[in-house]
């Protein structure tokens, strides 16, 4: 998928998430999301921050975190999450078309669409809702994920499996098959256990075992 279409997908996904969060009761913002250790509030703040942080903002966050990437991401999200829900929703809307990316190797529209669509599922599924995840957008995110070595390394972790999207033209690997919607593979490749109930095939138990190892 060309970059302009990816960025358009990012914008639509941010706006859909803002719509989901718009009238969410205050107590639901405190619910745990599918992203381990993060509340729904933290996930929303992470996405809002990514859309508006520039190089200087990330430099300051890196200094606070003493150069530790995961700590930087976590602490910046929690800092922004201290805001009331209203401003977080407004930031998602106001910066929906932003093309800013974190200072990570290979960061671009494909990694951004992966981040937004995966975290949208973290929020929506935790609320018992089924989010809209266009298969072609999910495939763009999967392309980014499959190349990653940090903080996920799905090519290594899921070696020996054939992963096949049932709703899009995407397939990788060799071995016993795992099939399902492209959105479900976003969850699998980022280590979300919720993926297992959305996928099927003779390789699913092996995928579960590999990720539990």
Are the C-beta atoms of 73 and 46 separated by less than 8 Å? Answer: yes
pTM attached to this predicted model: 0.93
Q: In whole angstroms, give the CA distance from residue 208 to residue 17.
A: 29
Q: In whole angstroms, give the CA distance from residue 51 to residue 47.
A: 6
CA dihedral 121, 27, 52, 151 (to 10 degrees): -50
In CATH, the number for domain 135-212 is 3.30.1050
* Residue 20, helix vs strand vs coil: helix
The pLDDT assigned to 65 comes to: 63
The pLDDT assigned to 151 comes to: 78
* Range 20-55 burial, b when 16+ CB lie within 10 A, else e: bbeebeeeebeeebbbeebbbbbbbbbbbbbbebee
The pLDDT assigned to 71 comes to: 77
* Residue 105, helix vs strand vs coil: coil
Residue 65 CA, distance from chain mean position: 22
**Tens-digit pLDDT string for the chain (213 aa):** 799 999 999 999 999 999 999 999 999 999 999 999 999 999 999 999 999 976 666 677 667 767 677 777 778 888 999 999 999 999 999 999 999 987 777 789 999 999 999 999 999 999 999 999 999 999 999 999 999 887 789 999 999 999 999 999 999 999 999 999 999 999 999 999 999 999 999 999 999 999 998
Ordered by start, the domain boundaries in the chain are 3-97+108-126, 135-212
86: CB partners within 8 A, 6+ apart: none
The pLDDT assigned to 73 comes to: 77
């Amino acid at each position: 998928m060309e970059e302009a279409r990816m960025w358009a997908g990012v914008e639509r996904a941010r706006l859909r998430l803002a719509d989901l969060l718009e009238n969410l009761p205050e107590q639901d913002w405190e619910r745990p999301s599918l992203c381990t250790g993060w509340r729904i509030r933290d996930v929303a703040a992470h996405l809002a921050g990514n859309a508006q942080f520039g190089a200087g903002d990330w430099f300051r966050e890196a200094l606070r975190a003493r150069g530790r990437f995961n700590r930087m991401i976590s602490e910046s999200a929690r800092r922004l999450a201290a805001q009331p829900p209203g401003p977080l929703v407004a930031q998602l809307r106001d910066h929906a078309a932003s093309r800013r990316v974190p200072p990570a190797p290979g960061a671009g529209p494909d990694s951004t669409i992966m981040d937004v669509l995966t975290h949208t599922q973290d929020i929506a599924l935790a609320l018992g809702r089924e989010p809209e995840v266009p298969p072609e957008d999910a495939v763009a995110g999967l392309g980014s994920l499959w190349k990653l070595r940090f903080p996920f390394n799905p090519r290594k972790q899921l070696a020996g499996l054939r992963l096949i999207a049932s709703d899009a033209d995407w397939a990788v690997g060799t071995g016993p098959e795992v099939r399902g919607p492209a959105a479900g593979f976003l969850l699998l490749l980022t280590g979300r256990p919720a993926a297992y109930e959305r996928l099927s095939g003779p390789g699913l138990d092996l995928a579960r075992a590999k990720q539990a190892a």
